[in-house]
Chains A and B, each alone.
Chain A
Amino acid sequence: MNSHRNPSEERLLAYAAGALSPPEAVVVAAHLALRPANEAWVRRLQTVGGKFLEEAVPAALSDDALAHALARIETDAGEVKLPAPLNDMPELPEPLRRYALGPWRWIGPGVRARDVHAPRDGACRVILLKIDPGRETPRHTHAGVELTCVLSGAYATETERFDVGDLEEADQEVLHQPRVVSDIPCLCVVALDGEIQLDGWLGRLMQPFVRL
């Protein structure tokens, strides 16, 4: 397993346990929809979670806990939240289809982004990024962790190539200038923490105008 293109074991474990921040969980969910082998592994990890739940030493409930639960189900209308309507991008993997999407915004030549209205976690949020063939995003470093999953097309960094379903974990230390190497635009879903710091004179010039 290539640790750069698949989530780390720790991240899959945290996802299975529900301990990832919601924006990261959204990106990992998209990755799993595109990588059945990893999805099967996460389901197996959830079997481990179920096993640990069975083995947990029970904590005493308050005396009226069961009565309270039974009263709640008596008065419960049984309403399950209606699923949110599908968004306007049928090409997205299923876990992303029911999030509302913001308008496409121009970020730079051949680079557009739109917000995915998934739950935020502080400054961390989810965006879709679409970059035209041959284009690069401005060279940048990150204030926080960036988790990227390729949904179509492919990009390459200085050292690696990322294809559909691949997941990249970048942090502050990574100076990042992905270039699209597919002949179709590259669409990615990204969990972004903090503002991107654009590098170089063009970056510094653009920084005040570009809010990713």
Chain B
Amino acid sequence: MHVEAASSTSSARVLARMSAEGPTSVAFAHDRLIEAVALRRDREAFAELFNYYAPRLKAWLIKSGATAAAAEDFAQDAMLTLWRKADLFDARKARAATWIFTIARNRRLDMLRRDARPLPTPEIDLIDSQTPQPDDILAASQDAERVRDALSRLKADQVEVLRLAFFMDSPHSEIAQRLDLPLGTVKSRIRNAMIKLRLILEASAGAPR
């Protein structure tokens, strides 16, 4: 179910207008929606974000091998975490999609804990612990642009293995199985894709490591 187009709320209209202006504007619109959740506990804004991201989060988990029911629980939990932590969102540090990705990633890490003992463990959270630097505003939106550009310059099969590596639990063997390729081929394809991605992104960032 994909209801954002059918919705007639004001935030949906904002989103529809921005959507017509291109994908970057959608990302900016999502930033504003998260800020609305943080500032006003805006339920309409939350619903818009839910309608966009929950089906994608569910798709991610299904791809990683979860049942449809478990994947939907995961999406629900991740979106509830977004509600709770919206005031930690800082568009200067990361765009909406990246931030929601990291929330979901931390939840996924929680799920991978086979140790049932409840421990008061902190979440490993690079983005929230980062102090924003003056040039971060530019950096976060430019990063999103550069990533889009870099991915468009990789070969299709390289993008495919990277995508699978992000969304599967034990990437290499599962990817090899899914693509019906030898394990060694998958490993070298991922490595080559990473090297190329690094070259493109670091050249465009103009920052030596």
The answer to whether A and B assemble together is: yes
Interface residues of A (CB under 8 A from B): 1, 9-10, 13-14, 16-22, 25-26, 29, 32, 37, 39, 41-44, 46-54, 56-63, 65-66, 68-70, 72-73, 76, 78-81, 83-84, 94-95, 98-100, 117-122
Contacts of A70 in B (CB 8 A): 43, 46-47
Contacts of B170 in A (CB 8 A): 19
B147-165: CB near A (< 8 Å → 1, else 0) gives: 1100100000000001101
Q: Choose among B122, B127, B190, B201 the residue that contacts A98 (Cβ–Cβ < 8 A).
A: B122
Q: Would B171 and A19 count as touching, CB distance under 8 A?
A: yes
Q: How far is the CA of A60 from the CA of B50 in the complex (A)?
A: 12
Interface size on B, residues (CB 8 A): 81
Given contacts A46-B105, A51-B97, 11 further A-B contacts (CB under 8 A): A17-B166, A19-B112, A47-B94, A48-B151, A48-B162, A58-B56, A59-B59, A60-B2, A61-B75, A81-B120, A117-B119
Q: Would B167 and A52 count as touching, CB distance under 8 A?
A: yes
**12 CB-based A-B contacts, threshold 8 Å:** A17-B167, A19-B171, A46-B98, A50-B96, A51-B148, A54-B56, A60-B1, A61-B55, A65-B1, A66-B47, A72-B80, A76-B84
B16-27: CB near A (< 8 Å → 1, else 0) gives: 000000010001
Q: Would A122 and B129 count as touching, CB distance under 8 A?
A: no
Q: Would A119 and B119 count as touching, CB distance under 8 A?
A: yes
A-B contact count (CB 8 A): 215
Contacts of B115 in A (CB 8 A): 22, 119-121
Q: How far is the CA of A69 from the CA of B2 in the complex (A)?
A: 16
Q: How far is the CA of A36 from the CA of B131 in the complex (A)?
A: 13
Q: How far is the CA of A49 from the CA of B115 in the complex (A)?
A: 26
Contacts of B108 in A (CB 8 A): 18-19
Q: Would B80 and A41 count as touching, CB distance under 8 A?
A: no
Q: Would B187 and A10 count as touching, CB distance under 8 A?
A: yes
Q: Would B72 and A65 count as touching, CB distance under 8 A?
A: yes
Residues 56 to 94 of chain B near chain A (Cβ within 8 Å): 56-60, 62-63, 68, 71-72, 75-76, 79-80, 83-85, 94
Contacts of A48 in B (CB 8 A): 147, 151, 162, 166, 197
Q: Using known A-B contacts A21-B112, A22-B109, determine if residue A65 contacts B76 with beta carbons closer than 8 Å.
A: yes
